[in-house]
């Protein structure tokens, strides 16, 4: 009987762990953990690009290519896509891998941008 109870407990732990690691929240955080952060301001309209998904559905993405600035003001060119047209003058925090690949982005307010990056973003 104890053996069966232990087995049930282990199965429940495994199921809970699987649900956690497959959740959208975990995936979202994973794309941000340990990544470099750059800040950018949307200054141009994204270039529309139609992409065929694995399910053979047509998906419209908007490609952006513009400079971003790190927390110390260092500059890096950023290339990323969005599933919608981003608002002109929107401020974004962009997460990148060491090789420059953008893994995630999010809109932020001016108070979230470090002063060295802010000075480079404001004309």
Query: What are the mean pLDDT values of the chain's consecutive 10-residue runs (123 residues total)?
Result: 73 62 56 82 94 90 95 94 93 91 92 95 83
Say yes or no: 12 and 40 in one domain. no
Give CB contacts under 8 A, 24+ apart, made by 41-48.
41/89, 41/90, 41/91, 41/92, 41/121, 42/66, 42/86, 42/87, 42/88, 42/89, 42/90, 42/92, 43/88, 43/89, 44/88, 45/85, 45/88, 46/81, 46/82, 46/85, 46/86
pTM, rounded to two decimals: 0.74
How does pLDDT run across 41-61, given as a tens digit for each residue? 999 999 999 999 888 899 999
Say yes or no: 63 and 116 in one domain. yes
Say yes or no: 98 and 113 in one domain. yes
Say yes or no: 41 and 26 in one domain. no
How many distinct structural domains can be found in the chain? 2
Say yes or no: 54 and 109 in one domain. yes
Q: Which domain holds residue 80?
A: 35-121
Give the model's pLDDT for residue 6.
74
CATH code of the domain containing 43: 2.40.50.480
């Amino acid at each position: 009987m104890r053996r069966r109870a232990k087995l049930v407990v282990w199965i429940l732990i495994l199921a809970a762990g699987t649900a956690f690691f497959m959740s959208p929240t975990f995936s979202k955080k994973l794309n941000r953990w340990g990544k470099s952060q750059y800040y950018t301001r949307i200054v141009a309209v994204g270039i529309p690009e139609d992409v065929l998904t694995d399910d053979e559905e047509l998906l419209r993405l908007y490609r952006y290519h513009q400079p971003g600035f790190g927390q110390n003001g260092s500059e890096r060119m950023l290339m990323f896509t969005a599933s919608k047209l981003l608002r002109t003058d929107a401020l974004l925090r962009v997460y990148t891998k060491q090789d420059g690949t953008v893994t995630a982005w999010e809109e932020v307010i001016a108070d979230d941008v470090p002063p060295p990056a802010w000075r480079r973003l404001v004309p």
